[in-house]
Amino acid sequence: MKLKQFSIYNIFIPIVSLIVTIICCPLPDNYFKLCHCGILISGVNYIECDRQSLRVIPPFKRSFPYDDLILSHNLIENLTQNSFDNIKGIRRIYLDNNPIQFIDNDVLRLLGNYLEDFIISANNKFDSLEFLFRYPLKKLRLLKLTNFNLKNKQLTSTLFSNMTRLEILYIQNCQLKTIDFSQYSLNNLYTLDLQDNQLSYLNLKSVISLKNLNLANNHIHITKDLNINSIDGLPTSLINIDLSTNRINDFDLFRNLNKLQILSLNNNSLKQLPDLLQLPLTLKSFDLSLNQLKTINNSTKIFFEQLTNLNLQNNPLECDCHLKWLYKLVIEQKQRVNITNGNDDHLIDSIMTNNDSFYINPTKWTCSDKKQFLSSDFQCILIPKLILFNLTYIQANVLEQLTDGLLLQWQMNDLTFVNYYQISYELDRSQLSSLIISNRLSKNMSQLFITNILQYKRYHVCLIIYHKFAKDKYCRDILTINIVKYSSQIILSNQLLTNLVTILPSSSPLSLNQQTNSPTTQIMLIGSCIGVFLTLILLFTCIYLCCKIKQFNRKHSKSINIHQDTYHPPPSRRTTTTFTCCEHHDKHQPYCSAAQLFNFQQVLPPLPPPPYPTSTLYHHHPHHHHPIHTCQHYNTSENTSNSTDSSHLGDSLHSNKHQQHIYQEITNNNNIVDNNEQKMFDLWNMSVSTATDTTTSNITNLSNNDHITPHRTRQTLKHIR
């Protein structure tokens, strides 16, 4: 019977609520396709117009005490004075993701006694908050503002004095730069979210009950070295702080937060954690992802052991022996989870992979060599490093005598790869002094005493460490003024600086032998010599190639000139002298005839032809237009007899009538001879004159015997030239 009543009740209630909702829904008829009214199982009634591209708030037709008005993700731009008049009993209004550009200052005047949650967003340009502060909002519990332009506004706690029950405040992406909550006390505010602003200063002294603080993606800068602190008055009641994407390098800010449990410092460019990490022991979750951490000191092990969640994802961790302690810590926690979950490996991996809230999750950690954190071997080579280096001016017992000197004390982190030490010191580096270097010292030594030290002087002392990987040098300066007397300090003989091997003037240049003893100097000298040698080879090669090119060009030009200008006589076994008889313009009066040709016993040297071009030129006369006269060459052979045979001469004339040169007579008024051809012509005249002088006397004697007048001889020579 009871079951039947219960089932009827479950059916009856939804039907009744649906009928009441339809009857009481204040939406106009034309909005039923876009919006709807409803009641949740919890009894919350609502009006939902989400994601319907509405540009205005629906004109509600009656006032009814609805709980939620959902107008998110629309295109509403204006909130007028009467936007909520007919629905004044509404408790929660959602206007997020709307490009609101105007809000009337009186829009909330009727909602002060009802409104509990108010979520609204603007278009990144609207810069007024007067609509919030004009009327008291006595029941407002949650306020969320996004995409407002508040860069020129300074929010103070007095502005929120009309919101006496405000518990949660969101001001996101509103370009805020400063917030001062130091005056009016906001006793009920426990969550403050100021994400995605431009905050450079924040004062929270009046927010005494704050538990959750989100300051991610701002310009907050906290650096101990520069004494910069962008946050004042952090409440000690804080449990959760998110300072992601800021510039936090100092952890002293969190020292007094005794209730802090969750701290997020991801993406803060942290390069190292302090050896003495000043964080409260109540911390359970620590997010250090997206930083530049390479290693974490073993001294922080006590702090990390208390964590239930540690995120070191996206850090260039150097997974060597310095992080082996962290690897062991993760393995121990995995073993504890293993025992709790009955050795189910699949379940353990699933928990450690998916549950970031309760377990350290190393599955997503990577090392600098791209290996997974859990798959690294965590082995390293300890590079020798100086941990301690002290220099003291003391009076000590040396071989049962009190002696003044300098006591050097040092300590190395590891001696495995140390080869030996050397000590060097000099007196007052600014003056001309000597640099004194010791012999090699055993790697097991940790102190050394230097004697013969002058008082009231400045010494520059260096410890040189030679190890497998490099050579390190550590130096100290000391003034020998105040001497420390150690009556109980006993210096052994093996701790005295003796056997000084090198004394070098510290301010004078090294000699050639000292300079060349250095391996670096020798390498530089060898390299310089090789460079000079290669440069000389290259220079001589260039000179040789230039000479060859010039010689080739000269030969090539000569061969071209020879082919164009040189006359090649026909080959003959006998040496033949050729005379040219040129006719005057008047062909009836020749300068010479066949009877005036002579045979010479003396061989005349062959004359080069004149340097005229091979093309036929014409002599331009004012009245005559005829070609340049052709000169006939008559070859006179060298015979044994001195007699002249006219028939033989006739044959000679007949056989040689085709061997002719064309001499050109060019007047200055008509043609201009090229300069190069003129020079060659002058050289040819000189050669002809030389040959002609040699034969002048012979021609004169012969002309006397053959009745040739000197005037005729001169005309003949003239034409020969």
Distance CA 298, CA 300 (A): 5
Which own/partner contact pairs does 399-404 have at CB distance under 8 Å and 24+ positions apart? 399/491, 399/493, 403/451, 403/491, 404/451, 404/453, 404/455, 404/480, 404/483
Helix ranges (H only) for 235-355 are 301-305, 324-340, 345-354
Contact in structure between 252 and 278 (CB atoms under 8 Å): yes
Q: pTM (2 decimals)?
A: 0.54
Q: How confident is the model at residue 636 (pLDDT cuts 50, 70, 90)?
A: very low
Tens of pLDDT, residues 580-621: 444 444 444 444 444 444 443 444 445 455 544 443 334 444
| Tokens (6 digits) for 440 | 């090699």
pLDDT at 495: 67
Distance CA 457, CA 442 (A): 29
Average pLDDT score over residue span 405-414 = 89
CATH 3.90.1150.10 holds for 386-514: no
Contact in structure between 577 and 603 (CB atoms under 8 Å): yes
Contact in structure between 699 and 717 (CB atoms under 8 Å): yes
pLDDT at 432: 66
Of 431, 408, 424, nearest to 460 (Cα)?
424
Residues of the chain with CATH 2.60.40.10: 386-514
Lowest mean pLDDT among 396-400, 527-531, 666-670: 666-670
Tens of pLDDT, residues 112-145: 899 999 999 999 999 999 999 999 999 999 999 9
Tens of pLDDT, residues 195-204: 999 999 999 9
Q: Of all helices (H) and strands (E), which one includes residue 678?
A: helix 675-705
Lowest mean pLDDT among 271-285, 445-459, 490-504, 698-712: 698-712
Distance CA 475, CA 494 (A): 22
pLDDT over 70 (residue 692): no
**Per DSSP, what are the bridge partners of residue 425?**
436, 461
pLDDT at 494: 64
Tens of pLDDT, residues 638-672: 333 333 333 343 444 344 444 444 444 444 444 44
Residue type, 393: Y
Distance CA 195, CA 667 (A): 104
**Could you give the 3-state DSSP secondary structure of residue 238?**
coil
Q: How confident is the model at residue 340 (pLDDT cuts 50, 70, 90)?
A: low
Give the strand order in the sheet containing 221-223: 228-229, 221-223, 247-248
| Residues 6 or more apart whose Cβ sits within 8 Å of residue 103 | 78, 79, 126, 128, 131
DSSP state letters, 544-585: HHHHHHHHHHHHHHHHHHHHHH---PPP-SS-EEEEEE-B-S
pLDDT over 60 (residue 406): yes
Q: How confident is the model at residue 353 (pLDDT cuts 50, 70, 90)?
A: very low
| Tokens (6 digits) for 153 | 């506004």
Torsion sign, CA atoms 248, 251, 255, 261:
positive
Measure the CA angle with vertex 202, ends 196 and 205; round to 5°: 135
Average pLDDT score over residue span 545-562 = 80
Q: Which residue has the higher pLDDT, 278 or 570?
A: 278
Distance CA 435, CA 429 (A): 9
Q: How confident is the model at residue 253 (pLDDT cuts 50, 70, 90)?
A: confident
